[in-house]
Structure 1
Amino acid sequence: MKLDNPSMHLSPGNDKIKLTNIYSSNERSDMMKTFLSKMFTKKEKIQIEFCQNNLDRFTTDQTIAEYGKFLANPRIQYKEYECLSECKLCKETSYAKVNGQIMRGKDSHDLLDQLQEALK
């Protein structure tokens, strides 16, 4: 509860009055939460959809391990589908759907680099 009348403080030897507001502990707590939430805003999660056929075609043992590390990030929600009905694209290049938009790479490593950039 904020008091309507701020308290007045008079410093000895000084003829100026310093006005300060008195806040309840709940108000201070709320103000701190608001301040911290503005300073440390949570970033949105991203949703990634993969085509299993495309992964089988373009990933290697090395990139599978790198994808595993990347997908462990708590900001990522992902799902593998047997097919995403993008057959022409699937035959040509490595791709994924990120928040509903197709993202393609020259190879699976390039796609992973792009996915990491999208996360930033």
Structure 2
Amino acid sequence: MQPMVEFCLSRLTPDVLKVKEELERDPEIEVLESPCLGNCELCAQTPYAMVNGEIVTGETQQELLANIYAEIEKQQKQMEDLFDLL
């Protein structure tokens, strides 16, 4: 399953835009923009994205990118573990 990372258009500051652009260069990741992800309070406070519906934050551009990749790895591991049970 290809990971999907969503960004709120209201939070596409220059640093978040750089994260989005870097992720778009990865053919294994689907990157989407949404007019609103429904997390307005969080959106006003910190850079964030949603990875397959899970909120991921980061105080800096580098931290957000690292946290997104960490969440993708975590979710992929959970899927692998689930398939191992079957």
TM-score higher than 0.5: yes
| Alignment map for 1:31-110 (pairs within 5 Å) | 44-56=1-13, 59-60=14-15, 64-110=17-63
- Runs (4+) off by over 3 Å: 63-67
Higher helix proportion, which one?
2
Query: When the two structures are aligned, how many residues end up with a matched partner?
Result: 73
Unaligned runs of 5+ in 2: 74-86
Instruction: Please identify which structure carries the higher strand content.
Output: 1
Question: Normalization by structure 1: what TM-score?
Answer: 0.52
Query: Which structure would you say has the larger RCO, counting Cα contacts within 8 Å and 6 or more residues apart?
Result: 2
In our comparison, the structure showing a higher alpha carbon Rg is: 1
Deviations 1:24-44 (A, max 9, x none): xxxxxxxxxxxxxxxxxxxx4
Q: Percent identity?
A: 30
1:70–1:116 CA contact under 8 A, matched in 2: no
TM normalised by structure 2 equals: 0.69
